[in-house]
Amino acid sequence: MSSHSYRKHPGSRYLALFFLLLAPLLSLLLYAFPARADGGFPIIAVLHAGQRPEGIAVDTSTHMVYIAYEFPSLVVGFDPIRGNVRWKVPVGDSTTDVQVDSTNHHVYATGISRSGRTGYFTVLDGASGKILFSTDTAPGDDGLAFDTKRQRAYVSSSNFGIIDVFSLRTSPTGNISVLSSTLKVGSRPQALGVNSRLGRLYIGDIASNTVTVIDEKSNHILATIPVAAVPVQPIRVDEASGHVYIVCSTGQELDVIDGHTNKVTARVPVSPLPEGVAFNTATGRIYVASEGHNDTAFNDTSSGTTITVIDGQSFAVLGTLQVGRAPDGVEADPALRRIYVSAEDSDAVVEISDSPDLPLKNAPNFHQAAAIHQAILLLREAITVTVILMLLTVVGATLGARSRRWRAPEIPQSPPGGASSHLEKHTPPV
């Protein structure tokens, strides 16, 4: 029996020491730190603090900006004055939306689990990111709205067709108690907005293409207003004027409702598949983000790259501005004269100057472009149906001809002239 001895090579100790020193360096290189690149005009800066940013909220008192990132799930508190990220907090496996109360500086966020079976509603401290309250909600493509006067949060679930209602109370020590209930309105409620002054809740239904107006005190339906196809989150409400702004994705327009008469007063054409909207601006302009694709298409080649700029008085389209791929959420800080846009496919939040001198490009005729696009789609469908019918006709005719041949009986053939096919025996004459 032979024995084998093992002797450690002297250089292995140095190799282990090398990898020990290399590991922290690799972690520094591989970890994506928040980065903010300063720009000029009209783009002031670009923030990279996560992947696939969506909803944006601005505390108009502290000027803090809060961003919902899908992957990895994060709510980010960004200080634009100092130019740094103060905190990051995950909400579920994917954060879907964020709102802020500029009076108590609380941040409200929704998220969803990786399986899609559980939704989340979380309240955070706007300064530190500390979680003050968290609970489960019905899952779905959640919309979020908050009534600052009544301290009431609404979270929609288009999958289950319900709205979770959370009435919040904050004690002198900062503890939050919650009274929860549910509201059933429509079949697929998604977009939400609140007018705290009037006590009105606005619910956009993506199945019926309507906006339902609810009295917050009685929960009675005050009006059901038809809008363009697929009203999407968020619904923005100007409490000073009563205007309600609804972005209709498939309808490719911004619908404006008079909150006092519950009538649509303007239908403004915008770029394809819009998503976010901001109205509270120093210039009085309205900004609509043109995502260009639905939320199920990641890094789609059809992503939009612009925001549409609209005059807030005449609702005339002034032009478009390039901001990045798939602009989604958009919000304004009128005191700082800034607009924040989340460019989802660019993994960036773009900080733009809210100036009347923006270098806008002339906006195309969006309605005409949409009509041409729809006509092309209908033509393609008609060609497809025609080809299928032609193929079915050919197949049917072929099978019919073959079936007749298979069913026909065999008929003996006679020689020409009616001659018999059998041989006759002839007797020669004597």
N residues, the chain: 430
In-domain check, residue 427: no
In-domain check, residue 117: yes
Q: What is the mean pLDDT of residues 284-291?
A: 94
In-domain check, residue 23: no
225: number of Cβ within 10 Å: 19
In-domain check, residue 402: no
What global pTM score does this model have? 0.77
Contact 276, 247 (CB under 8 A): yes
In-domain check, residue 335: yes
Q: What is the pLDDT of residue 228?
A: 97
24: number of Cβ within 10 Å: 9
Q: What is the pLDDT of residues 369-427, one digit of tens each?
A: 555 555 655 676 678 888 888 888 888 888 877 776 666 555 555 555 544 444 444 44
Here the CATH number for the domain that contains residue 88 is 2.130.10.10
CA dihedral for 400, 402, 407, 412, sign (positive or negative)? positive
Q: What is the pLDDT of residue 389?
A: 85
In-domain check, residue 339: yes
Total domains in the chain come to 1
Evaluate if residue 207 carries a pLDDT over 70: yes
Kindly report which listed range (36-40, 144-148, 162-166, 269-273) carries the lowest average pLDDT score.
Answer: 36-40
The model's confidence at residue 277, banded by pLDDT at 50, 70 and 90, is very high
33: number of Cβ within 10 Å: 8
Residue 44 zone, left/alpha/beta (φ > 0; ψ -120 to 50; rest): alpha
In-domain check, residue 383: no
Contact 109, 68 (CB under 8 A): yes
Domain enclosing residue 67, as ranges: 45-294+301-372
CB-based contacts of 315, cutoff 8 Å, min separation 6:
256, 266, 268, 286
In-domain check, residue 20: no
Q: What is the pLDDT of residue 32?
A: 45
Q: What is the pLDDT of residue 369?
A: 54
> What share of the chain in percent tops pLDDT 70?
78
